[in-house]
Amino acid sequence: MVFYRLVMSGGIANTKPRRPVCERGNPGPPHDLWAFVVVRQLERSAWGSMASVHQDRHPIDRGAGEGKQITCHTSDIRSAGTDADVSITLVGGAGTLGPKVLQHSNSNLFERGVKDEFLLEGTFLGDINRIEIGHNNKGFGAGWHLDRVEVSDENHNRSYHFPCKQWFDSSRGDKKVMRTITAAQLARADSKNTCTYKVKVYTGDMRSAGTDASVFIIFHGSRIPASAKKNLESQGKDLFERGQVDEFMFEFDDVGDVNTITVGHDNRGLGAGWFLNHVEVTVLGKQPTQYFVCRQWLDKKKGDFLIERTIQASAFLPDDGQCQYKVVVTTGDHRGAGTDATVRVVIYGDKGQTALIPLISDSKNLFERAQVDEFLVQGANVGNITRLQIGHDNKGWWANWHCKQVEVTSLANKQEVKFFCDQWFDKKKGDGQIIRELTPLVGGGQQQAALQKYTVTTHTADVRGAGTDADVYITLVGTTSRVGPRFLVPPSGDPFERGQADSFTFEAGDVGAVTQIIIGHNNKGWGAAWMLDFVEVVAQSTQQTVFFPSKQWFDAKQGDRKIERTIDAVSNKPNAGKTSYKLEVHTSDLKNAGTDANVSVVVFGNKGMSGPRPLPAGKEAFERGSVDYFVIETDNDLGELERLQIGHDDKGWFAGWHLSHVEVTSMTTNQTWLFPCQKWMDKKKEDKMIQRMLTVGQLSAAAPSQPPPEQQQQQQQPPAPAPASAPAPAPAPPLLLPPRRSRHHVKNAGTDSNVSVKLFGENGQEGPAKQLIAKRGQLERGNNDNFTINTVDVGRPARLQIGHDNTGFGPGWHLSHVTVTRVESGEEATFICQQWLDKTEGDKLTTRILTASSTAPLGAPSTKKELPANEAPPAASGAARREVSYTLRFETSSRPFAGTDSQVWFELVGTEGTSGIVKPDQKPEHFDRACKDTFTFQLPHCGDLNSLKLGTDKAGKGPDWHLSKVVVNDGASGREYIFSCGEWFDKKRGYDKTLSVSQ
Confidence of residue 777 (pLDDT cuts 50, 70, 90): low
Question: How far is it, in rounded angstroms, from Cα 287 to Cα 283?
Answer: 5
Report the CATH fold assignment for 452-568.
Answer: Lipoxygenase-1 (2.60.60)
Residue 537 has pLDDT above 70, yes or no: yes
- Angle (CA) 649-654-659 rounded to 5° is 70
Using alpha carbons, select from 33, 32, 4, 30 the residue that is nearest to residue 17. Answer: 4
In CATH, the architecture of 730-854 is Sandwich (2.60)
Residue 987 has pLDDT above 70, yes or no: yes
Find all residues with CB under 8 Å of 737, minimum gap 6, and list them. 759, 788, 789, 791, 797, 820, 821, 822, 823
Residue 888 has pLDDT above 90, yes or no: yes
Task: Tell me the domain boundaries of the chain.
Answer: 2-54, 66-188, 194-312, 322-448, 452-568, 579-695, 730-854, 883-996
Residue 645 has pLDDT above 90, yes or no: yes
Quick: pLDDT tens for 673-687. 999 999 999 998 888
Using alpha carbons, select from 460, 481, 473, 298 the residue that is nearest to residue 394. Answer: 473
How large is the average pLDDT for residues 332-360?
Answer: 87
The residue type of 134 is G
Q: What is the DSSP string of 433-473?
A: -SEEEE--EETTTTEEPP-EEEEEEEEE-SSTT----SPEE
Q: Which stretch of 6-10, 253-257, 958-962 has the lowest confidence by average pLDDT?
A: 6-10
Q: Which stretch of 189-193, 405-409, 531-535, 834-838 has the lowest confidence by average pLDDT?
A: 189-193
Q: How far is CA 460 from the centre of its chain?
A: 19
Question: How far is it, in rounded angstroms, from Cα 637 to Cα 867?
Answer: 38
Question: How far is it, in rounded angstroms, from Cα 247 to Cα 796?
Answer: 82
Find all residues with CB under 8 Å of 619, minimum gap 6, and list them. none
Residue 358 has pLDDT above 50, yes or no: yes
| DSSP SS3 for 20 | coil
Query: Could you tell me which residues are beta bridge partners of residue 844?
Result: none
Q: Looking at residue 890, what is its pLDDT?
A: 95
Which secondary structure element, helix H or strand E, spans residue 714, and what is its range? Answer: helix 709-714
Determine if residue 855 is left, alpha or beta; phi over 0 gives left, psi from -120 to 50 gives alpha, anything else beta: alpha
Helices (H), 507-574: none
Using alpha carbons, select from 585, 440, 410 the residue that is nearest to residue 509. Answer: 440
With 0-12 CB in 10 A as exposed, 13-18 as middle and 19+ as buried, what is 107?
exposed
Q: Looking at residue 664, what is its pLDDT?
A: 93
Question: How far is it, in rounded angstroms, from Cα 773 to Cα 788?
Answer: 10
Quick: pLDDT tens for 414-472. 899 999 898 899 888 877 788 888 888 765 545 555 678 889 999 998 777 788 988 89
**579-695 falls under which CATH superfamily?**
PLAT/LH2 domain (2.60.60.20)
Find all residues with CB under 8 Å of 669, minimum gap 6, and list them. none
Using alpha carbons, select from 759, 866, 848 the residue that is nearest to residue 804. Answer: 848
Residue 263 has pLDDT above 90, yes or no: yes
In CATH, the architecture of 66-188 is Sandwich (2.60)
How large is the average pLDDT for residues 274-291?
Answer: 87
**Residue of higher predicted confidence among 307 and 620:** 307
Using alpha carbons, select from 787, 577, 558 the residue that is nearest to residue 663. Answer: 787
**Which phi and psi (to 5°) does residue 47 adopt?**
-70, -20
Quick: pLDDT tens for 180-196. 888 875 433 334 578 88
Q: Looking at residue 314, what is its pLDDT?
A: 76
Q: Looking at residue 216, what is its pLDDT?
A: 94
How large is the average pLDDT for residues 105-128?
Answer: 82
With 0-12 CB in 10 A as exposed, 13-18 as middle and 19+ as buried, what is 182?
exposed
The CATH number given to 194-312 is: 2.60.60.20
Query: The whole model's pTM is what?
Result: 0.34
**Residue of higher predicted confidence among 59 and 347:** 347
How large is the average pLDDT for residues 214-219?
Answer: 93
Residue 379 has pLDDT above 90, yes or no: no
Report the CATH fold assignment for 883-996.
Answer: Lipoxygenase-1 (2.60.60)
Q: Which stretch of 352-366, 578-592, 925-939 has the lowest confidence by average pLDDT?
A: 352-366
Question: How far is it, in rounded angstroms, from Cα 550 to Cα 517?
Answer: 11
Q: Looking at residue 765, what is its pLDDT?
A: 74
| DSSP SS3 for 712 | helix
Quick: pLDDT tens for 967-976. 999 988 889 9
With 0-12 CB in 10 A as exposed, 13-18 as middle and 19+ as buried, what is 517?
buried
Q: Looking at residue 265, what is its pLDDT?
A: 93
Instruction: Count CB neighbours of 432 within 10 A.
Output: 15
Average of per-residue pLDDT values in the chain: 78
Q: How many CA atoms lie within 13 A of 672 on its CB side?
A: 14
Instruction: Count CB neighbours of 979 within 10 A.
Output: 23
- The pLDDT > 90 percentage for the chain reads 21
Residue pair 758/801 in contact (Cβ under 8 Å)? The answer is yes
Q: Which stretch of 256-265, 386-395, 488-497, 632-641 has the lowest confidence by average pLDDT?
A: 488-497
Which secondary structure element, helix H or strand E, spans residue 710, and what is its range? Answer: helix 709-714
Residue 28 has pLDDT above 70, yes or no: no
Using alpha carbons, select from 657, 699, 708 the residue that is nearest to residue 682. Answer: 657
Strands 372-380 and 322-331, by their bridges, are antiparallel
Residue pair 497/537 in contact (Cβ under 8 Å)? The answer is no
In CATH, the architecture of 322-448 is Sandwich (2.60)
Question: How far is it, in rounded angstroms, from Cα 456 to Cα 503?
Answer: 6
Residue pair 815/870 in contact (Cβ under 8 Å)? The answer is no
Which secondary structure element, helix H or strand E, spans residue 380, and what is its range? Answer: strand 372-380
Which secondary structure element, helix H or strand E, spans residue 709, and what is its range? Answer: helix 709-714
Q: Looking at residue 3, what is its pLDDT?
A: 40
Q: Looking at residue 701, what is its pLDDT?
A: 38
- The pLDDT > 70 percentage for the chain reads 80
Find all residues with CB under 8 Å of 855, minimum gap 6, and list them. 796, 797, 827, 828, 829, 878, 880
Length of the chain: 999
**Residue of higher predicted confidence among 845 and 327:** 327
**Which phi and psi (to 5°) does residue 643 adopt?**
-140, 160
Question: How far is it, in rounded angstroms, from Cα 514 to Cα 695?
Answer: 46
Quick: pLDDT tens for 938-958. 888 888 898 999 999 887 777
Q: What is the DSSP string of 24-65?
A: EEEE-STT-EEEEEEE----GGGGGGGGGGGT------TTS-
Question: How far is it, in rounded angstroms, from Cα 721 to Cα 717?
Answer: 12
Question: How far is it, in rounded angstroms, from Cα 965 to Cα 51?
Answer: 119
Residue pair 498/467 in contact (Cβ under 8 Å)? The answer is yes
**Which phi and psi (to 5°) does residue 713 adopt?**
-70, -25
